[in-house]
Amino acid sequence: MFFKYAPSNWLKGIIFPLGISFFTFQSISYIADCYTKKIEVEKNPFYVALFISFFPVISSGPIQRAGSLIPQLKTTHHFDYANATDGMKLFAWGLFKKLCIADRIAIYVNYVYGNASENYGTAIFLATILYSFQIYCDFSGYSDMAIGVAKYMGFDVGKNFDHPYLSQSVGEFWRRWHISLSTWLRDYIYIPLGGSRVALPRIYANLFITFLVSGLWHGSTWNFVIWGLLHGFYQCVGRAGKPFFEKRKLPSFIKIFITFCLVTFAWIFFRADNLQASGLIIIKITQVPLNLIDFISLKGELGLKEAIRILFALNENVGGFPSIIKIVIIIPFFLIISIATKHKDGLTIINERKCLIRWFYYSVFIFLIMLNIKISNGDFLYLQF
């Protein structure tokens, strides 16, 4: 009865989402879009509830927009073989990234970062690089699984990652990383602040505020504040220096390498427990040249294998040499697949192959997934944010 006699349509669009999920991204976007009349207010509260609680994406995204998802919820969906099989393939690819890459890397990263004061800078440097792959494969793996489940049921919830580590600038990285969050921040924080339609100093301020919000959403510690502001700084420098960089015409692989290094450095603050730990990790990484001198000394005293083991913390806590060898093998394999699928969707490539080739790929992935189930902790990194 309340909805029948509410004083205005947009009020109906506000009360129900707040009562269900408070200020979630989807409910906020729904309220804002109704208020600004970008979409018509949904008069049936059950569709609003279903939109907010759509189970494949409710935990960590991709963040949905009412204008895209609600019309799909109102459509009758019948079983579709192509959607079902493509959804299962996406789910399997996400599971592969989670179990075979992210969880295996997590063992090494957790030990090295958890004992930073006791390990050499070389081990911390390697763990920092590997964490970039861990967080990407963990979160994009979750996203692919969620997208796959939705696709299996006939729903299109969009793409959430698009080869972010092949970006040639930090600005491009954010157009490819967690796309649903990036566009949400753009539409509901950056543009309402004035976006790029204001004076240059204000644009820089808008960028800093937007990325500060992103940092605070991930966590209320100084580490996340610095992580957000650091990306805001990258964006401002990239914008200010764009004419300079365009004149230099650097090769693409150098731009990709520089972008990866900048993003990886920022991940230190994202991964470390606090500012003190972040400072220690950065100091340790700067000591890597000195560690190479230590390596020569250790090699003379203990031999090559033992020197490598000590320098990179390859002890029983991380599974020793076999564990790191598996990581070293699987990351290039993953990079080759990423490069091959940058300009052509992976599902399209797989579906174009002959039946025997496809099933060979499926068998390899299933085997690798089963092989790595025992090392998985089952937790997704982004569930803590």
Report the C-alpha gap between 210 and 195 in whole angstroms. 10
DSSP 3-state of 193 = coil
Told to judge if 218 belongs to the known catalytic residues of this protein, a careful annotator would answer yes
Contact indicator for 380, 98 with CB cutoff of 8 Å = yes
Which of 56, 246, 291 lies closest to 299, judged by CA?
A: 291
Tell me whether residue 331 is exposed, middle or buried, using C-beta atoms within 10 angstroms of its C-beta: 0 to 12, 13 to 18, 19 or more: middle
DSSP character at residue 199: -
From 77, 78, 163, 218, the catalytic residue: 218
Query: What type of residue is 232?
Result: G
Contact indicator for 104, 326 with CB cutoff of 8 Å = yes
Contact indicator for 214, 385 with CB cutoff of 8 Å = no
Contact indicator for 112, 123 with CB cutoff of 8 Å = yes
Close Cβ partners of 122 (under 8 Å, ≥ 6 residues apart): 288, 291, 292, 295, 311, 312
The set of long-range contacts for 40-49, using a CB threshold of 8 Å and a minimum separation of 24, is 41/9, 41/10, 41/12, 41/13, 42/13, 42/66, 42/70, 43/3, 43/9, 43/12, 45/3, 45/12, 45/16, 47/73, 47/74, 48/13, 48/16, 48/17, 48/20, 49/16, 49/20
Catalytic amino acids? 218
